[in-house]
Amino acid sequence: MTAGVSVQAVSRRYGAAAVLEDVSLEIAAGEFVVLLGPSGCGKTTLLNMIGGFDEPTAGQILIGGRNMAGIPPKDRPTTTVFQDYALFPHMTLADNVAFGLRMRGVARVERLARAAEMLALVGLDGRGERRPHELSGGQRQRVALARALAVEPDVLLLDEPLGALDLKLRRQMQDELKAIQRRVGTTFVHVTHDQEEAMAIADRIVVMNAGRIEDEGPPKRVYLRPKSLFTAGFMGEVNRISLATTRLFPQLGATGVLCLRPESVVEGGALRIGPCRIADVAFFGTHVRAHVVPEAAPDLRLVVHLPQGSDVTEGQVMDLGARDFVVLEA
């Protein structure tokens, strides 16, 4: 089962403070959407409103075409995977996973069989008799995922589900999340502040800031051609060059901000920067990171990521250009 979500001109105010301001978003059935933004941007509030834990002060939310106004979480076709897992410590894993089915009146034998299936789906087959405290953080998160998916929700909401895991485990769980989403076909709405995580799993990234949607689109587009300076900066490191103060790129006009990703500055890129002197250089494993100063504009200092094999030294001069770039309004 899967359904689309339609967020229509939703605002949420707490007293005078607006947490969300006139947010509209269409999520297609079966899509994996990531709400990405810094803490306090309203992404979790939006997720809570889709799940029914909070109600909009204006606008409406439709799931599968049905208006959700006033419908409590238990009656919505959504389930949530919480950051703190929120497993039931007094129940076995099988009973945890079968809880939602129990609430729906499914007979014990049937729901335990289903729980075993779901545990197998998340790679915990045969451990149904264990209890949550016997598991590691990553395993608990898998159980929480199995529990939320067991009731076959139309929309699965994930509230920073990988936030409490260490980096290595987080990367591994991202791959699994994506694979599981492909298998079950449920609409996933995932909240995170980690842009790498967002790019790794999303069909579409929705970048949020200060209660508004800044940008939305496939990861590649949002990363390479961001629509705002905030998005450009939030998605990764970026060199910002004000076109009003430099004469380096007369073909781009005299207004706006040129954004260059460090790795898109290469030897012989299409947008010519010209000879640049290397100010300092450091080896970062996957790439060589350097600060360079264009000889035609000595007041600029650009961060560039050169290929791992580059043999460069301080003071050396390289002829550089940009492969991808975008000019944004300041």
Type of residue at 117: E
Q: Closer to other proteins at the Cβ: 142 or 305?
A: 142
104 contacts: CB under 8 Å, gap ≥ 6: 151
Q: Select the span of 1-9, 82-90, 177-185, 299-307 touching other proteins (CB under 8 A).
A: 82-90
Identify the bridge partners of residue 156 per DSSP, sorted by sequence position.
79, 188
Q: Judged by CB under 8 A, which of 80, 141, 192, 264 binds other proteins?
A: 80
223 binds other proteins (CB under 8 A): no
Give me the 41-60 binding string for other proteins, x by CB under 8 A, dash otherwise: ----------x-x-------
Type of residue at 14: Y
- Helix (H) or strand (E) holding 103, with range, is helix 93-103
Report in angstroms how near the CB of residue 194 gets to other proteins at its nearest: 21
C-alpha 108/C-alpha 225 separation (Å) is 52
103 binds other proteins (CB under 8 A): yes
253 binds other proteins (CB under 8 A): no
Q: Closer to other proteins at the Cβ: 151 or 208?
A: 151
100 binds other proteins (CB under 8 A): yes
7 binds other proteins (CB under 8 A): no
Cα distances (Å, whole numbers) of residue 172 to 46, 175, 201: 27, 5, 11
Report in angstroms how near the CB of residue 12 gets to other proteins at its nearest: 18
Chain position carrying tokens 């608990």? 140
N-to-C CA span, the chain:
44
* Contacts to other proteins from residues 122-181, by CB under 8 A: 144, 147-148, 151
Q: Closer to other proteins at the Cβ: 80 or 192?
A: 80
Report in angstroms how near the CB of residue 48 gets to other proteins at its nearest: 10
C-alpha 10/C-alpha 327 separation (Å) is 30
C-alpha 203/C-alpha 219 separation (Å) is 7
Q: Closer to other proteins at the Cβ: 3 or 198?
A: 3
User: Minimal CA–CA distance to 154: which of 242, 30, 52?
Assistant: 30
**Binding residue count for other proteins, defined by CB under 8 A:** 24
90 binds other proteins (CB under 8 A): yes
C-alpha 184/C-alpha 279 separation (Å) is 51
Q: Closer to other proteins at the Cβ: 46 or 322?
A: 46
233 binds other proteins (CB under 8 A): no
Q: Select the span of 69-77, 198-206, 238-246, 303-311 touching other proteins (CB under 8 A).
A: 69-77
C-alpha 258/C-alpha 300 separation (Å) is 13
C-alpha 96/C-alpha 82 separation (Å) is 14
The token duo for 146 is 């199995």
C-alpha 170/C-alpha 177 separation (Å) is 10
Q: Select the span of 66-74, 220-228, 229-237, 258-266 touching other proteins (CB under 8 A).
A: 66-74
Using an 8 Å Cβ cutoff, are 320 and 262 in contact?
no
99 binds other proteins (CB under 8 A): yes
82 binds other proteins (CB under 8 A): yes
Report in angstroms how near the CB of residue 190 gets to other proteins at its nearest: 16
Q: Closer to other proteins at the Cβ: 187 or 231?
A: 187
Residue 28: CB atoms within 10 A of its CB come to: 14
Contact positions vs other proteins (CB under 8 A): 51, 53, 72-75, 78-80, 82, 84, 86-90, 99-100, 103-104, 144, 147-148, 151
